[in-house]
Amino acid sequence: MTSLDSYATLGRSGLRVSPLALGTMTFGEDNGWGSSPETSEAILAEYLDGGGNVVDTANTYTNGHSEKIIGDFFAARPGLRDRVVLSTKFFATLHPGDPNGGGAGRKAVVAQLEESLRRLGTDYVDLYWLHGWDRRAPLEETQRALDDLVAAGKVRYVGFSNVPAWVAAEAQTTARFRGWTPVTALQVEYSLLERTSEGELLPMAEALGMGVLPWSPLSGGRLSGKHVRGGVPTDSARAGLTAELTEADWRVLDVVARVAADLGVGAAEVALAWVRGRSAVSSTLIGARTVEQLRANVSSLGTTLAPEHVAALDEVSAPALDFPAAITAGPGPVLGFGGSTIDGVTLPTWPLLLANAERY
């Protein structure tokens, strides 16, 4: 049985993180939904008391209020901040009309960090995330600015979120060549209803030493168990999502429900257990608007899927991946093995090769 204090190293680094990371996009009611500061602090306290150690926010979450709530929480608890892996993100602007208020140019990167540090009430963040790809800022400029911030002691580690695989791969290669701070972690949307990152992003992350933190592992509540065929979602705040479910989505939800019934747990526990079990995943981001929702998510750590359950979930949710995924997963390995056993794996010789061997 896994617990919040069963830590893992993040990617190719020495940073230890809990299996579930607390996402705080719900902290603050500024956008007409979310948690009050009091409820947000109760969620934070319960998560940290249970052994969780990753608190994830962003400058744009509730227009900076999420960061302020977290900063106020730690200010009232001297010494606790240094025991936590505190992460925030930059890219989105909070200054309409200012062309340098957001993005990933040096001026914007530095200014956004200073503003985040002020709201968080700290002089450093443990993990600083690029929140999106800035097509108009040279990647080397962004990386060098981040490397300078690490050298200045204001950032400990660097992560990328919501970027193409080739951008993250280029950044990692450049960092190694230049001796700059590497990309330690990658945030991607990943769940039983969104698996297309398996084509390029997840293999790239594993190969280049980036720990993966999936966001929306419950697909915006679709995998929470609140949706049933022909029914109305039990959470009125998510009622609009029912219309977005396709027949393929419903087939996934049906299998999730069957597995949940077999194990005597909820659908959310099954969906979270599946994500946590993927080889590239270091920690999984969860969000909660209430303490009860947090407890329900954390309870998933006690759920272990049997191999037959994993196989059923894998099959029903199998994604259609971009080229060349089908080739590399299909006959490609067979062509190279020639019937040999390599690294403990044996693949047959492709019949066409036998028919034409030494023909010329």
The string of pLDDT tens digits covering residues 95-153 is 999 999 999 999 999 999 999 999 999 999 999 999 999 999 999 999 999 999 999 99
Region 230-254 average pLDDT: 72
Measured in whole angstroms, the distance separating CA 53 from the mean position of its chain's CA atoms is: 15
Residues 189 and 87 in one domain: yes
- Examine residue 299 and state whether it is found in any structural domain, yes or no: yes
Residues 20 and 128 in one domain: yes
Residues 144 and 234 in one domain: yes
- Examine residue 2 and state whether it is found in any structural domain, yes or no: no
Is 255 a residue whose pLDDT tops 90? yes
Residues 204 and 151 in one domain: yes
Q: Considering the entire predicted model, what is its pTM? A: 0.92
Is 237 a residue whose pLDDT tops 50? no
Residues 81 and 207 in one domain: yes
Is 342 a residue whose pLDDT tops 60? yes
Region 250-274 average pLDDT: 97
Is 8 a residue whose pLDDT tops 50? yes
**Residue 6: per-residue pLDDT:** 96
- Examine residue 163 and state whether it is found in any structural domain, yes or no: yes
**Residue 228: per-residue pLDDT:** 82
Residues 169 and 258 in one domain: yes
CA torsion through residues 309, 315, 321, 323, sign: positive
Region 257-277 average pLDDT: 97
**Residue 360: per-residue pLDDT:** 64
- Examine residue 164 and state whether it is found in any structural domain, yes or no: yes
The verdict on whether omega for the bond into residue 19 sits within 30 degrees of 0, i.e. cis, is no
Is 1 a residue whose pLDDT tops 80? no
Q: In this predicted model, what pLDDT tens digit does every residue of 24-42 receive, in sequence order? A: 999 999 988 899 999 999 9
Region 227-232 average pLDDT: 76
Residues 210 and 285 in one domain: yes
Confidence class for position 159, pLDDT limits 50, 70, 90:
very high
Confidence class for position 345, pLDDT limits 50, 70, 90:
confident
Confidence class for position 238, pLDDT limits 50, 70, 90:
very low
Residues 313 and 353 in one domain: no
- Examine residue 129 and state whether it is found in any structural domain, yes or no: yes
Q: In this predicted model, what pLDDT tens digit does every residue of 285-338 receive, in sequence order? A: 999 999 999 999 999 999 999 999 999 999 999 999 999 888 877 666 666 777
Q: In this predicted model, what pLDDT tens digit does every residue of 193-228 receive, in sequence order? A: 999 999 999 999 999 999 999 999 999 999 999 988
Active-site residues: which are they?
Answer: 61
Percent of the chain, pLDDT > 70? 91
Residues 214 and 337 in one domain: no
Q: How much is the mean pLDDT over the chain?
A: 92
Residues with Cβ < 8 Å from 271, sequence gap 6 or more? 191, 192, 217, 218, 219, 223, 224, 256
Confidence class for position 45, pLDDT limits 50, 70, 90:
very high
- Examine residue 253 and state whether it is found in any structural domain, yes or no: yes
Buried b or exposed e, range 343-356, using 16+ CB within 10 angstroms: eeeebeebeeeeee
- Examine residue 3 and state whether it is found in any structural domain, yes or no: no
The parent domain of residue 352 ranges over 330-360
Confidence class for position 350, pLDDT limits 50, 70, 90:
low
Residues 299 and 350 in one domain: no
Give alpha helix (H) positions in the chain.
37-49, 65-75, 106-120, 139-151, 165-178, 201-208, 247-263, 267-276, 291-298, 307-316, 325-329, 331-337, 351-356
Is 273 a residue whose pLDDT tops 80? yes
Residues 163 and 95 in one domain: yes
Assigned token pair, 135: 């097509």
**Residue 211: per-residue pLDDT:** 98
Residues 17 and 118 in one domain: yes
> Cα dist. 94→56, 60, 71, 91, 102 in Å?
18, 7, 18, 10, 7
CATH of residue 80: 3.20.20.100
Is 354 a residue whose pLDDT tops 60? no
27: DSSP letter:
B
- Examine residue 147 and state whether it is found in any structural domain, yes or no: yes
User: Total domain count for the chain?
Assistant: 2
